[in-house]
Structure 1
Amino acid sequence: MRIICLALLALLYNGLASAQTNLITDIQSRKTTSLNGTWQHIVDPYETGFYDYRYKELRENHGDAYWNTDVPKDKSEKKEHGYNDKYTLQVPGDWNHQKPEFVFYEGTIWYKKSFDYSPTKAGSRYFIYFGAVNYRADVYLNGKKLGMHKGGFTPFNFEIPTSLLKEKSNFLVVKVDNKRYADEVPTLNTDWWNYGGITRDVKLVELPQSFIQDFVLQLKKPIAGKAPAAMPDAEGYVKLSGFKPGETITVEIPELKFKKQIPATGELTELSFKLPKLQLWDTDKPKLYTVKVKTATDAIEDKIGFRTIEAFGKKVLLNGKPLFMRGICIHGEIPQDVRRAFGPADAKQLLGQAQELGCNMVRLAHYPHDEAMTRMADSLGILVWSEIPVYWTINFGSKEVLGKAKAQLDEMITRDHNRASIIIWSVGNETPVSPTRTDFMHSLITEARRLDNTRMVSAALEVNYNSGKSMNMIDDPLGEFVDLVAFNEYLGWYGGLPNECRKTNWGTPYNKPLFISETGAEAKTGFHADSLTRFSEEYQNWYYVEQLDMMKRMPGNYVGISPWILADFRSPKRNNPVYQEGWNRKGMYDDKGNKKKAFYTLQAYYNEMKKKYSSKK
């Protein structure tokens, strides 16, 4: 793997996440204190607590700034804000589903959490870690700003000055702003609900002065389509914060009786060694090994699966064997509660539904999902396509927007680079073809490979239907740069009727694997009619019957499909008052967890493809 110093990336993106320290990974194995639970809040649509009446940012010591204490020092001091248990929200959680008045709210809400903290060891360093906040987060502790972060679906952390943290009565304030802007990622126009809030875990992390900030260990990228050797090459790096010359790093995999000591070469120490004979991770047997990394002052561990993945010629090879991806797209949403998904219980529901459908792969659309999803996918043996929200019509000509996209790409890959389940990093969805856009996307692909060259890199391309012609060619110029040519097609829903599939074939001029990253039709559960009636379960089922019959004519480089979508989800763009009512109804499950007729049609196809590919092993 090509190794780069992530510290240099922070310099490249300076200003996008002011004062942000580099991301700390493997939070589950650290000394942490949860700050989840009940937080007080102030709704601030005019951002009165952030700007003065001239719309200038308030000074740090300004009494009416909402990040400062709301307790007057005496009876004469003016205070025009206050936090009260009358107004509270639960963290993690979006604000939209917690109170009826917040369903459509886009703007600023201030969160406040009071807590006490007793350090467990003298001389420690402290960090505030957020799993995700949508979209902009300004973070303050005891009246002092720790930093700002943009990006609604990736983790971040800030270091706390030791003198700032108190044993009693700390108050943490987060200004959360989910307003949409033309120069953000994603941009103004999306087809999903803009859930605002502190949507994932918040933790106070205590670490030694010199600690293991990050490490990655994966099998080396295979050569020319070969399966891993009996003693395969592994490589990666260990990143230290507070490096001291003369330090030694120990890497241990107890089950393999493997232990190796490596002299630290600096902040970043490269790893390269052969592993004893091991059981490879795959979808049938998702074997995970406990990997321990230690220094004189710190120790962390993670459960890691070892496998190889590559696009080789017209095939995708997992551990050197041809792979057919029986996929489904998933939004990070729990429909029955109409809320953003987070945590292991939600991951179990969503991935369990995918398994029941017969999937061995999921496309996590259109943004990085909660870490519980990728970790559970590791344990279940489900392959993952992970994506950043470069979606539709962002400002492809802006260097600033490119920097924001790269920052989210960096955070997505850094968090999950040890997840065996992730086989595809995606840099975007349905972006309109132009030279400016292609340069933008190519830059992201190059960046993804520089961060991690052990996985495939792709993007979901859109198609133009060639009316009256039998062949649709996926000839987007971005196909030259991706490993996997993936495309979204809705022939029979957005173009004609499903019987159009009978005379349509697909191909690409690129000698690469071909993958259908989306296809689908809407149906309201319980609405039954003839198959020509839109929004009926019969129409959706007919759509899948015709689509899957068309798949039988796909060329030899066809390697899988991930239909849109696992479950109905909320979208402000879907406003048919009878059949949608603010819901995208393309799910195999409805918003109550009921299966639609098309579920069983797709399930039967997946069972057939599973048998076909099992016989090839």
Structure 2
Amino acid sequence: MNMQKRVFTGLLLLMSVAAMAQSEPLQNIAGRKILSLNGRWNYITDPYENGYYDYRHKPYDASASGAGGFYDNKKARGNDLVEYNFDNSPTLRVPADWNSQSEKLTFYEGTIWYRQQFTLAPAAGKKYFLYFGAVNYEAHVYLNGKKLGMHKGGFTPFQFDVTDKLTNGLNTVVVKADNTRHQDEIPTINTDWWNYGGITRDVYVAEVECTHILDYKIQLDKSDAKSIIGFVSVAGNGKGQAVSVLIPEAGIKTQVTTNDSGYAAIKLTPKQLSLWSPQNPKLYQVQLVLNGDTLTDKIGFRTIEVKGQDILLNGRSVFLSGICLHDENPLIPGRLRSQGDMRMMLQWARELNCNYVRLAHYPHNEEMLRLADEMGLMVWAEVPVYWTISWQNPETYANAEKQLSDMIARDKNRASVVVWSVGNETPVSEPRNVFMGKLVARVRQLDNTRLVSAALEVHREGEKAYVNDPLGEKLDLASFNEYAGWYWGGVPSNITKYAYEVKYNKPVLITEFGGDALGGYHADENTRWSEEYQAALYRNQFVLLGKMPGLRGMTPWILCDFRSPRRQEPYYQDFFNRKGLISETGKKKLAFDVLKTYYQTMQQQYNTGNKK
């Protein structure tokens, strides 16, 4: 084996070991005993990755001693040469992206090193985990100068067992966060949203018992709405553990015992149950008790299924009146930072008469799903398998499946989630069909209580638009994006002559349509970028879509204008995608009321049983 190959093999092994150092994230992290590390973190911008590679571009991690690197965090002694200093470095807020916190970092893609210090007195007989809600995109994590591991994926949680690595007193966490885009990653190089880098979600140190509840699922049985089923998983000495399951308001108090793997199935028969829906977003307090340690969650119970061309929520046909959302605040640049930001977005959706939102194009903050539970909004949850992925790369597929599995693991107890989406606008080819088909199969393996779908594309021949993607055979919904009146079809008044032909006898869900409008710019209905053009596009879309049998919902693109490096026209766009119904100043455009009125009409039809 030549030296280059030997080094490469060694690096792969090192990365594998680092990734394996992660432990399965705790379910319901906010319900645990936690120390928050949120706040101001010192940071060093490192475009040449001097803190990770030596001058021969060899990772310090790969050296026998592990010496060097910013993660080592040593103070200079005597005449030592130390070319970084966290103490004298500026700070960034965590959780938050870096792009919106410094003008110098607006377009920055690369590595930034973060450092936080905290004081802790670890208790004997306890386990400790360092938990990250999300870091975009590749994170290398160090504690007290020692590497814990590496994680890829910008939108899902990960954690490390630090029980034996904490010191009694001052502890130092260093994170190398790198948001560089790569062809073989998920998402890939080409996207249409801002690549916000950094530690974008909460960071905690969680304290649990050595034997503790790791995971659980408690949901209504899809085949028997009178039963609640699921499981509980216990880590540590999990064998033969008695776990009490209590839902006091539903008259449930029972006990299950874990098997040799620390797993116990749950089946409950409630005395009474009020089903969750947008009209009745009922949540029950669920308690799991292990050796006196209580973990509490709020969970709603409902069924979602398809029958022919109907979507049935709790056995009743429903029209999904929706809108797409990005995890971005239109008023303050950057990712949504707080529950207040998230509630504002969902409240706008509610004002629009929505009962449903599509959280595009990646897993959003866990708090967003919990708020959707509380506010009665159904959710389409998606992974960033977007546009043109490296379909034949096994590592790319493994990454996509891991992000999908992590999303489902985190949000499987949220009643609001009714659809798991495996991707958006992926072009048809045999390798892609295999890749996406495997993701669909993985969803069905992990969760049979929800629908699985994807945002497909259409192809056009003359005045006909066809939905015949072979992936559609595997999905529960005939769901697709179409942009008549903007990217094709001419002016809004022209699009009503088109017709759609959908191959599948399934509920039809339009996952995107729309057009750009600069808030405050007014002209006639045929002038692009005007609010009048966007409003006319929506009115004519309703005529076009109204001819389609099986139409059972839509999520137009998009609730709010959002930032995108692809959108460079200096006056109308200025690095914004302007398809929002709300501008970056929070002003509602004319199309907002057009869609609001349409949804009011559709809900009246379904509530009175007069659906078309």
Query: What's the TM-score bracket when you normalise by the shorter of the two chains?
Result: over 0.9
Which aligned pairs between 1:169-188 and structure 2 lie closer than 5 A? 169-188=170-189
- Cα separation, partners in 2 of 1:60 and 1:602, compared to 1, 3 Å: farther
Which residue is equivalent to 2:427? 432
Is 2:133–2:201's contact at 8 Å kept on the other side of the alignment? yes
Question: Of 587, 594, 597, which residue of structure 1 is paired with 2:590?
Answer: 597
Cα offset, 1:85, TM superposition:
4.5
Which residue is equivalent to 1:559? 552
Is 1:60–1:143's contact at 8 Å kept on the other side of the alignment? no
Rounded to whole Å, the distance in 2 between the matches of 1:245 and 1:487 is 47
Which residue is equivalent to 1:84? 87
Question: Of 600, 604, 607, which residue of structure 2 is paired with 1:607?
Answer: 600
Cα offset, 1:473, TM superposition:
2.4
Which residue is equivalent to 2:11? none
Which structure exhibits the higher relative contact order, with contacts defined as CA atoms closer than 8 Å and separated by 6 or more residues? 1
Cα offset, 1:245, TM superposition:
3.1
Is 2:247–2:253's contact at 8 Å kept on the other side of the alignment? yes
Cα offset, 1:101, TM superposition:
0.1
Which residue is equivalent to 2:535? 541
Which residue is equivalent to 2:199? 198
> What is the SS of the residue equivalent to 1:327?
strand
Is 2:32–2:295's contact at 8 Å kept on the other side of the alignment? yes
Amino acid of the structure 2 residue aligned with 1:519: F
> What is the SS of the residue equivalent to 1:449?
helix
Which residue is equivalent to 2:301? 306
Question: Of 112, 115, 128, which residue of structure 1 is paired with 2:115?
Answer: 112
Is 1:396–1:436's contact at 8 Å kept on the other side of the alignment? yes
Cα offset, 1:311, TM superposition:
1.4
Rounded to whole Å, the distance in 2 between the matches of 1:172 and 1:60 is 22
1:209-236 Cα deviation digits (max 9, x unpaired): 010011001111237xxxx3xxx12211
Which residue is equivalent to 1:3? none
> Does residue 492 of the first structure (1) align with residue 490 of the second (2)?
no
Amino acid of the structure 1 residue aligned with 2:83: E
Unaligned runs of 5+ in 1: 1-12
Question: Of 367, 376, 379, which residue of structure 2 is paired with 1:384?
Answer: 379
Is 1:234–1:273's contact at 8 Å kept on the other side of the alignment? yes
Which aligned pairs between 1:179-578 and structure 2 lie closer than 5 A? 179-222=180-223, 228=225, 232-265=226-259, 266-296=261-291, 298-467=293-462, 469=463, 471-497=464-490, 498-555=492-549, 557-578=550-571
Is 1:125–1:209's contact at 8 Å kept on the other side of the alignment? yes
Per mean C-alpha deviation after superposition, the further-off stretch among 191-200 and 49-58 is: 49-58
1:557-614 Cα deviation digits (max 9, x unpaired): 1100100000000000011111001000000000010000111111110111111111
- Cα separation, partners in 2 of 1:220 and 1:507, compared to 1, 3 Å: farther
Amino acid of the structure 2 residue aligned with 1:239: S
**Root-mean-square deviation over aligned CA pairs:** 1.5
Amino acid of the structure 1 residue aligned with 2:80: E
Rounded to whole Å, the distance in 2 between the matches of 1:153 and 1:371 is 10
Amino acid of the structure 1 residue aligned with 2:100: H
Unaligned runs of 5+ in 2: 1-14
Is 1:64–1:79's contact at 8 Å kept on the other side of the alignment? no
Question: Of 94, 109, 123, which residue of structure 1 is paired with 2:125?
Answer: 123
Give the TM-score taking structure 1 as reference length.
0.94
Cα offset, 1:133, TM superposition:
0.4
Is 2:240–2:262's contact at 8 Å kept on the other side of the alignment? no
- Cα separation, partners in 2 of 1:112 and 1:472, compared to 1, 3 Å: same
Which residue is equivalent to 2:146? 144
Is 1:210–1:298's contact at 8 Å kept on the other side of the alignment? no
Which residue is equivalent to 1:95? 98
Is 1:330–1:365's contact at 8 Å kept on the other side of the alignment? yes
Is 1:64–1:80's contact at 8 Å kept on the other side of the alignment? no
> Does residue 67 of the first structure (1) align with residue 71 of the second (2)?
yes
Is 2:321–2:599's contact at 8 Å kept on the other side of the alignment? yes
Rounded to whole Å, the distance in 2 between the matches of 1:37 and 1:486 is 41
Cα offset, 1:118, TM superposition:
2.1
> What is the SS of the residue equivalent to 2:403?
helix
Cα offset, 1:297, TM superposition:
5.6
Rounded to whole Å, the distance in 1 between the matches of 2:133 and 2:64 is 26
Cα offset, 1:55, TM superposition:
1.4
Is 1:323–1:613's contact at 8 Å kept on the other side of the alignment? yes
Which residue is equivalent to 1:166? 167
Amino acid of the structure 1 residue aligned with 2:574: E
Amino acid of the structure 2 residue aligned with 1:185: I
Cα offset, 1:14, TM superposition:
6.3
Is 1:484–1:513's contact at 8 Å kept on the other side of the alignment? yes
Rounded to whole Å, the distance in 2 between the matches of 1:307 and 1:447 is 22
**Moved beyond 6 Å, runs of 4+:** 13-16
Q: How many residues align?
A: 592
> What is the SS of the residue equivalent to 1:354?
helix
Amino acid of the structure 2 residue aligned with 1:581: D
- Cα separation, partners in 2 of 1:561 and 1:15, compared to 1, 3 Å: farther
Amino acid of the structure 1 residue aligned with 2:572: Y
- Cα separation, partners in 2 of 1:60 and 1:172, compared to 1, 3 Å: farther
Cα offset, 1:439, TM superposition:
0.7
Which residue is equivalent to 2:37? 35
Is 2:127–2:209's contact at 8 Å kept on the other side of the alignment? yes
Is 1:566–1:587's contact at 8 Å kept on the other side of the alignment? yes
Amino acid of the structure 2 residue aligned with 1:334: N
> What is the SS of the residue equivalent to 2:601?
helix
Amino acid of the structure 1 residue aligned with 2:177: V
Cα offset, 1:342, TM superposition:
3.4
Amino acid of the structure 2 residue aligned with 1:23: P
> What is the SS of the residue equivalent to 2:460?
coil
Amino acid of the structure 2 residue aligned with 1:181: H
Cα offset, 1:153, TM superposition:
0.5
